[in-house]
Amino acid sequence: MAEAGVAHLLKKLDSLVTMIKEESKLFDRVKQEIKHLMDELPWMRKYVREADTKLYADDPEIHQIIDLTFETEDIVDDFALKVLRHQRQKKDLGALRFFKIKFLKRFILRIRELHEFKDKIKAINTMSDKISTYRAKYPMGRQHASTCLPVKRTPIVEELDVVGMENSIQQVTSLLVPNNSSRRTVVSIVGMGGLGKTTLATKLYKDTCVKRYFDVFAWVYVSQESEVADLLLSIIRQVTKGNLNDPTVEWDEGALRMKLYNFLKQRHNKRYLIVLDDVWHTDTWKHLDPAFPDTNNGSRILLTSRNLQVARLADPSHNNIHQLRLLDKRESWDLFQKKNFPLGGQCPPEFVEIGKKIVDKCRGLPLGIVVLGGLLLTKDRTLAAWSKVHDSVNWELTHGDQSYLCSGILAFSYYDIMPYYLKPCFMTIGLFPEDHEIRASKLFDLWIAEGFVHKEGEKTLEDTAEDYLEQLVHRSLIKIESWRYDGRVKACRIHDLLRDLANEKSEKLSNTRRLSSRQYLSQFRSSRTRTLMCFENQMMGNELFLKYICRNLKLLTVLDISSITHNATIPLSCSADNNTQILECIVKLVNLQTLIIQGKCTYMPKIWRLHQLRRLEVQFMELYHKAPSNYHLGIHNLTNLHTLSISYGCWMKDVRWDELKMLRKLSITNFGYLRCTKESLDSIALVTSLQNLKLLFGGELPLVTQFARHTNLTKLHIRGPLPVFLFPSNLVKLVLSSINRPDIELMAALGNLKDLKFLSFLPSSCTGKTITFSAGKFPRLQSLEIAGLPNLRELVVEEGALTSLTHLVIRSCDLRKLPERLGQMQLQELQLHNMHRQLINGLKENVGDNWDQIKHIPSVLIRT
């Protein structure tokens, strides 16, 4: 993290030279001091990187360099902010005679500030000269294989390591799906950290047999920091599928408990399975227990915990507690081979002896085996490299208790193999709450804003950040939580032991520059703070809190005010609902790179001033007939924008879209009170860099043909009636709703999209009674969703069509049977929700007339 900070500072100094070179005659003297500092920073960067690699980052001289770097960055950022403010004031004042005296005063102030800046940089250089005497203390200049940026990997294959758990799977499954007990039962999986409790629970939760037995599902991660009210709310949202008529967010714990109890009680004919993962305290179970009624229908609660007392309290009979054990030598070796030689490969004979010695150091702990295996994947596959790993692992790992063993292995994996550019990325993950689901896009924004992501050729910073995430996944330092349709990571989680490691390293180096309100609420006054992440619900919408941040932490680059269970924002973001004063305050944080505004806003203040923005998402409810004639958002001034999600409005008439050359993702929503014009779409079509486009309208869209020539556009989502079809030829994902087109005309237009992999027909996308997939069409389509088409009676798949389809989801349609060719397709997952009774009856296991059509599919989920 420290090395990345030095590199980031070099870029800032270079930018600052450009900003002030015409501001004053003092510049020559200031420039000399800056040049001297820029000459010193490269060796400091190299020094810090080498020290961190060699495990002596705790050396006081290293921290002296780090503190010096941080202090310099504070000085540079503060002065840059003053320069920017002066430039704006100069522009506003212009040549108005009335303001000449005021302008003179500000010019004198600028001269004073430039003197102060020069003196501060000179003092930094003096300290740097003293520290430079240390540079011979450690060897420099060595090249490490881990410092080379790898090429982009192929899509990650999902891992679910259950080696040594075969008996556990059978035993726990028999407790979850019993033949004789219909009473509500709590089944517990107990064991120390790193044994694989969550892995086993996940395997069971996804098991087809388990899925078919239960009707209602929910999974919550409990952790040490969770509030019972948040857990109850999360479960309610899952079991009700979000269909709540009450403002549940404002309910207290008791009301939420009663809400959940009544919902499950009223559906006494529906078996529920609730997973409570990682319960630490008996009090947590005592507060949750009354929310789960016993309807005598075989419902179950699956609980995982390190605390045996929690399991015994939940099941006084002790008959439903499964304690995980350490792996034996054979199982440990099998798991190691699965990690290091995927797709059924085996360890070459010449590596077996050294490989088993390495595995023995883990003493049967699955997490240690997986992490060491991930470490070896990054090494050259040579005996010398493997032997070096064996010899480098501290011999003390073979002594002490199991928790020390795991901590030692994890620390070794951090120091020995993790490249310098990944270390700050890994450490920032510790800012998130325990067991928190982290969206991949959130991590990318955070890393980019902090300057941790390095530019690589023509790749966007987001693409490079995705490479970093994949490397952390391949090292088994991050667990994938969910996937995108194209096999990329959508969300992830970090094991709490690894999170502890990330926090330990971060606390030693960050020096209050990155704060989480859960940990550092008392340190908000630190002027050094660049990242502030708040996860407390009481922080949401707190006007005084937000104003304090904006006034006192003016150098913030990352402001993330989120809620663990409520509508979460993403990094560098802030939520505000119809509060102009808060928004006026926020736009003063000129270093922000992403701004997310939840709720509809009637006014947007000078947003064009946030020139660093890479992501802007806001639902803008403008009353255009009341808007001033000169009203505009100045979107085209935000030339760094990568993602823009905004409401359609009259502000668009003045946007010079062709200046947004970095824009990759665009979403425009029309709430129906303004008519979309062809001129608007023509201007948007000038953004040829677009890869992802959403046009969500209530009224009819004009001729959407302008985007057909966009070769970069691979994802398209359209809502609203379309008079003409002409889709971009390179589309990979297409979502359609409310376009109201006849099925024959629609399918003819879609059949020519040879690269299409994901297709979704949402309500009112098709008006016909039949959808036909013609022979030879849709050769690469993998996922098909059809939802909310009440007139659809028949789905026809001709021979040679949909040859790559693996996932099929159909909801709320009037189909009476599935396509006849379904039994010959290689489907991996089929979901049917709210379908006609005739269809459901025909698919009943072993007795339905059409059971043979789906019995070969590994995952089938049917919900009435």
CATH, domain 423-501, list 1.10.10, 3.40.630, 2.40.50, 1.10.150: 1.10.10
Is residue 638 within 8 Å of 610, Cβ to Cβ? yes
**d(C-alpha 12, C-alpha 537), whole Å:** 35
CA 366, 370, 375, 380 torsion-angle sign: positive
CA distance 434 to 426: 15
> Rounded to whole angstroms, how far apart are CA atoms 545 and 538?
10
| Highest mean pLDDT: which range of 79-93, 181-195, 332-346, 369-383 | 181-195
Q: Please say if the pLDDT value at position 343 is more than 60.
A: yes
Q: How far apart are CA 327 and CA 306, in angstroms?
A: 17
Q: Is the pLDDT of residue 627 over 60?
A: no
Whole-structure pTM over 0.75, yes or no?
no
**pLDDT at res. 151:** 36
The Cα 364–Cα 405 span in angstroms is: 11
Question: Would you place residue 165 in the very low, low, confident or very high pLDDT band (cuts 50, 70, 90)?
Answer: confident
One-letter amino acid at 682 equals D
pLDDT at 396 over 50: no
Q: Are 614 and 640 in contact (CB under 8 A)?
A: yes
Averaged pLDDT, 656-682: 81
User: Worst-scoring range by mean pLDDT, 307-311, 325-329, 752-756, 763-767?
Assistant: 763-767
Give the Å distances, CA to CA, from 633 to 93, 637, 650, 655. 21, 9, 10, 8
Instruction: Give CA–CA dist 189/39, Å, rounded.
Output: 58
Separation of alpha carbons 237 and 231, rounded Å: 10
Q: Is the pLDDT of residue 56 over 60?
A: no
Half-sphere exposure of 226 (CA within 13 A, CB side): 27
Alpha-carbon distance of 239 to 223, in angstroms, equals 21
506 vs 18, which has greater pLDDT?
506
pLDDT, mean of residues 338-346 = 76
How much is the pLDDT for 100? 47
Q: What is the pLDDT of residue 783?
A: 93
Q: Where are the domains of the chain?
A: 2-139, 174-323, 329-417, 423-501, 768-864
pLDDT, tens digit (0-9, with 9 covering 90-100), for 166-219: 888 889 998 998 766 788 999 999 988 888 898 899 989 988 888 888 888 999
Average pLDDT over residues 477-490: 81
User: What is the spatial distance between Cα 763 and Cα 744, in angstroms, rounded to a whole number?
Assistant: 17
At 781, the pLDDT band (50, 70, 90 cuts) reads: very high
Helix %, strand %, coil % for the chain, to 5? 45, 15, 40
User: Distance of CA 502 to CAs 477, 478, 495, Å?
Assistant: 10, 11, 11
Mean pLDDT of 461-466: 90
Amino acid at 288: L
Render pLDDT for 4-26 as a digit per residue (tens, 0 to 9): 666 666 676 666 666 555 454 45
Mean pLDDT for 647-658 is 78
288 burial (CB, 10 Å; 0-12 / 13-18 / 19+) is: buried
Going across the sheet that includes 558-561, the strands are 514-516, 531-534, 558-561
802-811 average pLDDT score:
92
Q: Share the mean pLDDT of the chain.
A: 76
Residue appearing with tokens 């010959």:
824
**Beta partners for residue 618, in sequence order:** 597, 646
142-145, long-range: CB within 8 Å, 24+ apart, which pairs?
A: 142/50, 144/53, 144/419, 145/379, 145/380
Q: Which helix (H) or strand (E) holds 86?
A: helix 60-93
Say what the pLDDT of residue 209 is: 82
Q: Quick check: 557 pLDDT over 60?
A: yes
- Percent of the chain scored above 90 by pLDDT? 17
Predicted local confidence at residue 747, as pLDDT: 87
CATH for 174-323 is 3.40.50.300
Q: How many angstroms separate the CA atoms of 76 and 8, rounded?
A: 12
DSSP character for 573? B
In this structure, what token pair is assigned to residue 655?
Answer: 């946007």
**pLDDT of 37 above 70:** no
How far are the Cα atoms of 154, 370, 473 from residue 339, in angstroms, in the given order? 16, 6, 12
What's the sign of the alpha-carbon dihedral 235, 240, 242, 246? negative
pLDDT for res 738: 86
Distances (CA, A) of 406 to 193, 370, 511: 9, 11, 27
Cα separation, 590 vs 609, in Å, equals 7
Residue 199 C-alpha from the chain's centroid: 20
pLDDT, residue 248, reads 43
Residue with more model confidence, 860 or 136: 860
**Residue 534 CB partners (closer than 8 Å, separation 6+):** 516, 517, 560, 561, 562
Q: How far is CA 158 from CA 120, 219, 469, in A?
A: 52, 19, 14
The pLDDT value given to residue 527 = 60
Higher-scoring residue by pLDDT: 623, 722: 722
Q: Find where tokens 């503190």 sit.
A: 67
Poorest-pLDDT segment among 22-31, 495-504, 657-666: 22-31
Q: What pLDDT score was predicted for residue 150?
A: 41
Q: Per-residue pLDDT for 97 more than 50?
A: no
Contact present, 621 and 600 (Cβ < 8 Å): yes
Task: Tell me phi and psi for residue 250, to 5 degrees.
Answer: -95, 0
Q: What totals of helices (H) and strands (E) does the chain contain, helices first?
A: 27, 25
Residue 735 has pLDDT above 80, yes or no: yes
DSSP conformation letters of 464-523:
HHHHHHHHHHHTTSSEEEEE-TTS-EEEEE--HHHHHHHHHHHHHH-TTSEEEHHHHGGG
Where do we find the tokens 């005309």? 745
| Alpha-carbon 734 to chain mean position | 22
pLDDT reading at 836 higher than 80: yes
Which residues, 6+ apart, have CB-to-CB distance to 677 below 8 Å? Answer: 702
Range 753-760 average pLDDT: 92
Mean pLDDT to the nearest integer, 718-729: 80
Tell whether the model's pLDDT for residue 407 goes beyond 50.
yes
Question: pLDDT class for 261, splitting at 50, 70, 90?
Answer: very high
Whether the pLDDT of residue 479 is over 60: the answer is: yes
Residue 759, pLDDT above cutoff 90: yes
Q: Encode pLDDT of 271-302 as tens digits.
A: 999 999 999 899 999 999 999 999 888 899 99
